Structure formats: structure tokens, C-alpha cells
Chains A and B, each alone.
Chain A
């Protein structure tokens, strides 16, 4: 059974750096064909993809946030960490991590967020 859980500070001040940790079980980031991503959702608004990291340490970032994000993995501890610098009140959101399943089917490559964590609300305020 795959489970993911996000952890991090519930409140950060503007200009500070946010560090979020995704702790997961039921899969390993040393196994080919998996990844972990981060998606956020401001209150009452839509989901927004932020970044994801693959088993081989390849990474992808949202173009609009790339300069502020860093994603990394700790394979021994089954954790993925996302840092976001220069936090602003507009970054107030629930941050989700999700298990990314990557596979080949019908001679094509596919990936999708198969399992999601419960999310953690981060408020940016002075």
C-alpha cells in the first residue's frame, strides 16, 4: 500500500524559505519507473504543479517557479524535499506530494500521479 505524507511549517514569514518534506512508504525511489511530485492549491483555487523528481534523479520544475524551487530525494530515508525561496503571501496554499507512476505501454511513454498525500497547509504572513 502506497502512502505519502507531507510535513513542514504551517506558517512562514514573507521572504523566508519554505522547506517541505514528503515521507512515503510502499515504494522506493531507487526503483525504476517511479517519481514524486509536488502540487499546490491556494484556498478555493485550482491545483498547480510545482515540480517532480524521478528515480534516476532527473528533475522537472514549473517554468514560472523554477528560479525559486529545489527538489531533492533521500533514497535511504524514503523522503523527498522541496524548498521554495522568497515566500510571498500569494504562496499560501495546501501543498501536496504525489507518487508518480512512469511506464511504457503500446510503445509509448506514460506517467501520472497515482497516489496523493493528505496535503499540508502553509500560510505566508508576517
Chain B
């Protein structure tokens, strides 16, 4: 099976833009959906991006997703950073047999 690799941590100032990457180890990043969830401290995860770039209702348009076949990676971009965005973010995907894989998670610090 494949792995999804994320940076361990990123940090940025309020109001700025940050991008979190998620690199697939084998197979094309475009072959299966990539989703992103947010996990605030002490809380359960919530989906912020599904199907590469779709936003669930209630998720602000400051959150956007994309994929880049040249680097075989997906990205979550958060613009206009707020302190409430400080959380762990996980990318997820699944293979052709519907076995799921989670990335190692990225801790976003808004300082």
C-alpha cells in the first residue's frame, strides 16, 4: 500500500496564508480522492476538504484544497489565518480496494 507524508509542523502569523503538503509514496495522487480533516486540541476530527478540493457546508472559503500530479502531492491552503485555525491537520486517501490511509498529521501553529 502507499503512504501519505506530511510535514510534522508549520507555523505562520495571523492573517497570513499557509500551505500544508501531503505526498503520496506510490501510485498517482489523482487516482483516488484526497480529503483533509482538522483536529483541534481535545476534539474529534472534522472534515474541512473532501474530494481533493470540495468544502463541506460551514467550512469557510479560507480553506482550499488542490493536487499536483508533478509532485504527486495534495495541498491544503488556509488563507487569512486565525488563531482558531490552530490545530492538527490530516490528509487521507484510499486505494482501489477501498483501504484507507491517513497521513502522519501536521501541527499548525498560528503565532
Contact = CB atoms under 8 A, between A and B. Distances in A.
B33 A110 contact: yes
Interface string B63-101: 000000000000000000000000000101010011111
Contact of A49 (B56, B101, B104): B101
A interface, over-half SS: strand
A114 B51 contact: no
A48 interface: yes
A14 interface: no
A117 interface: yes
B90 A114 contact: no
- A interface, size bucket: 20 to 34
Interface string A31-71: 00000010100000011110010000000101100000000
Interface of B: 1, 33, 35, 37, 39, 44-47, 50-51, 56, 90, 92, 94, 97-105
25 contacts: A39-B102, A46-B103, A46-B104, A47-B45, A47-B92, A47-B102, A48-B102, A49-B92, A60-B97, A60-B99, A60-B100, A62-B100, A63-B1, A63-B99, A96-B44, A110-B33, A110-B50, A111-B98, A112-B35, A112-B50, A113-B92, A114-B50, A116-B37, A116-B44, A118-B44
